[in-house]
C-alpha cells in the first residue's frame, strides 16, 4: 500500500491507498519540530483503528512546502516503512507538467501536484482555486502546461490578522452569514470575510478568463473550499481529493518509469 503525505503550512494530510481506492485519510497540525518518531506514534494509533499497520505500507510519496518538516517525514518513511520516499521536487521526479514560469523553481510542490491531480480528471484549460493558508489561483493549459497564477492571503490568515490587529474585534468562526449587512460586530466580520472572499474568487476568476481568452473549467479544493459551495458563481467543481489524486498519479508515473 501507498502512504501519501501532503505537508502544508497549516495542516499535514496522511492518506493510504491500497492500489484500488483510498482506505483512510487523517490530518494533523503542521509542527516543524515534530520528529519522525512522534509522527509514527500518532499515525500508528490511527492506522490501527482502520485495521492497518506499518507492515501494510510499502511505498511513500511526499509533497511538502515546509522544508523544516521534510527531513522528519523522510525519516518516517525510511525508518517505519523501510522505504525511500518519492519527494516532489527531488531531481528525477517526473510530474508530466511543464512549468512556464519566469523562474520554474518557484512553483510550489503543492501547486504542481494539484495541477496533475486536476489534469487526470478534468479536460481542457483549468483554473485551480486552492483555499488554504494562502488562496492560490493556478492556470493549467489543456496541453498540461502550468502557466502561472495568483497568490492571495487565505481566509483564515485574513481573519487572524483582523483579530490580531484590532483590539476590539474578537476571534470568530468562518461561516456564511444570513445577511450581507451585519447588525453586530460578529455578523459584520463574518460578512466581510465570507462575502469578501466570494467576491475575491469570482472577481479574480473573471479577470483570469478575460485575459486568457479561452474556455476554462474552474475547480476548487483546499481545507475551506466547501464553505463556498453554492455561494460562488465562478466555481464549476468542488473537489476535496485533488492533492491526493495528484500524489497518487506522481507515484504511478514514476513507478512505471522505474519499472517498479
| 113 falls within a domain | no
Q: Number of folded domains in the chain?
A: 2
The catalytic site residues sit at 110
| 243 falls within a domain | no
Q: State what percent of residues in the chain have pLDDT above 90.
A: 65
* pLDDT for residue 9: 86
Q: How confident is the model at residue 174 (pLDDT cuts 50, 70, 90)?
A: confident
Range with the poorest average pLDDT among 13-22, 97-106, 168-177: 168-177
Question: What does the alpha-carbon distance between residue 130 and residue 13 come to, in Å, rounded to a whole number?
Answer: 15
Query: The pTM is what?
Result: 0.85
pLDDT (tens digit per residue) in 38-63 = 999 999 999 999 999 999 999 999 99
Among 6, 16, 25, 15, which Cα is nearest to 110's? 6
Among 108, 128, 113, which Cα is nearest to 220's? 128
Q: Is 21 exposed, middle or buried (0-12, 13-18, 19+ CB in 10 A)?
A: exposed
Q: Is 179 exposed, middle or buried (0-12, 13-18, 19+ CB in 10 A)?
A: exposed
pLDDT at 187 over 90: no
Per-residue CA distances from 119 to 31, 96, 107, 183 (Å): 31, 10, 17, 44
Question: What does the alpha-carbon distance between residue 56 and residue 90 come to, in Å, rounded to a whole number?
Answer: 25
Write the DSSP string, 18-49.
-SSSEEEEEEEE--TT--HHHHHHHHHHHHHH
Residue with cell 500518532: 42
* pLDDT for residue 105: 84
**128 and 197 inside one domain:** yes
Q: Give residue 179's domain range.
A: 122-238
Question: What does the alpha-carbon distance between residue 226 and residue 238 come to, in Å, rounded to a whole number?
Answer: 7
| 252 falls within a domain | no
pLDDT (tens digit per residue) in 149-171 = 999 988 877 777 777 777 677 77
CATH classification at residue 158: 3.30.420.40
Last residue of a domain, one of 91, 111, 137: 91
Cell triple for 130: 486552492
**155 and 232 inside one domain:** yes
pLDDT at 229 over 90: no
**57 and 140 inside one domain:** no
**82 and 127 inside one domain:** no
Among 228, 248, 247, 246, which Cα is nearest to 238's? 228
* pLDDT for residue 258: 59
SS3 of 159, please? helix
**137 and 53 inside one domain:** no
| 176 falls within a domain | yes
| 43 falls within a domain | yes
* pLDDT for residue 257: 57
pLDDT at 102 over 60: yes
Cell triple for 109: 510542490
pLDDT at 86 over 80: yes
| 206 falls within a domain | yes
| 17 falls within a domain | yes
Amino acid at each position: 500500500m501507498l502512504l501519501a503525505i501532503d505537508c502544508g503550512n497549516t495542516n499535514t494530510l496522511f492518506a493510504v491507498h491500497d492500489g484500488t481506492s483510498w482506505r483512510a485519510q487523517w490530518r494533523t497540525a503542521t509542527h516543524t519540530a515534530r520528529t519522525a518518531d512522534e509522527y509514527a506514534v500518532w499515525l500508528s494509533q490511527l492506522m490501527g483503528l482502520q485495521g492497518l499497520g506499518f507492515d501494510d505500507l510499502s511505498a511513500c510519496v511526499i509533497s511538502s512546502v515546509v522544508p523544516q518538516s521534510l527531513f522528519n517525514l523522510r525519516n518516517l518513511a525510511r525508518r517505519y516503512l523501510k522505504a525511500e520516499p518519492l519527494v516532489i521536487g527531488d531531481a528525477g521526479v517526473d510530474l508530466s507538467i511543464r512549468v512556464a514560469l519566469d523562474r520554474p523553481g518557484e512553483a510550489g510542490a503543492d501547486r504542481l501536484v494539484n495541477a496533475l491531480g486536476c489534469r487526470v480528471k478534468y479536460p481542457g484549460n483549468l483554473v485551480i482555486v486552492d483555499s488554504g493558508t494562502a488562496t492560490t489561483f493556478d492556470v493549467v493549459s489543456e496541453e498540461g502546461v502550468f502557466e502561472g497564477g495568483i497568490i492571495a492571503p487565505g481566509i483564515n490568515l485574513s481573519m487572524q490578522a483582523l483579530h490580531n490587529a484590532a483590539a476590539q474585534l474578537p476571534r470568530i468562526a468562518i461561516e456564511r452569514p444570513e445577511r450581507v449587512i451585519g447588525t453586530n460586530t460578529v455578523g459584520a466580520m463574518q460578512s466581510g470575510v465570507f462575502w469578501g472572499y466570494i467576491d475575491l474568487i469570482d472577481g479574480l476568476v473573471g479577470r483570469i478568463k478575460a485575459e486568457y481568452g479561452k474556455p476554462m473549467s474552474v475547480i476548487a479544493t483546499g481545507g475551506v473550499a466547501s464553505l463556498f459551495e453554492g455561494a460562488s458563481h465562478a466555481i464549476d467543481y468542488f473537489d476535496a481529493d485533488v492533492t491526493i489524486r495528484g500524489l497518487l498519479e506522481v507515484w504511478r508515473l514514476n513507478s512505471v518509469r522505474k519499472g517498479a
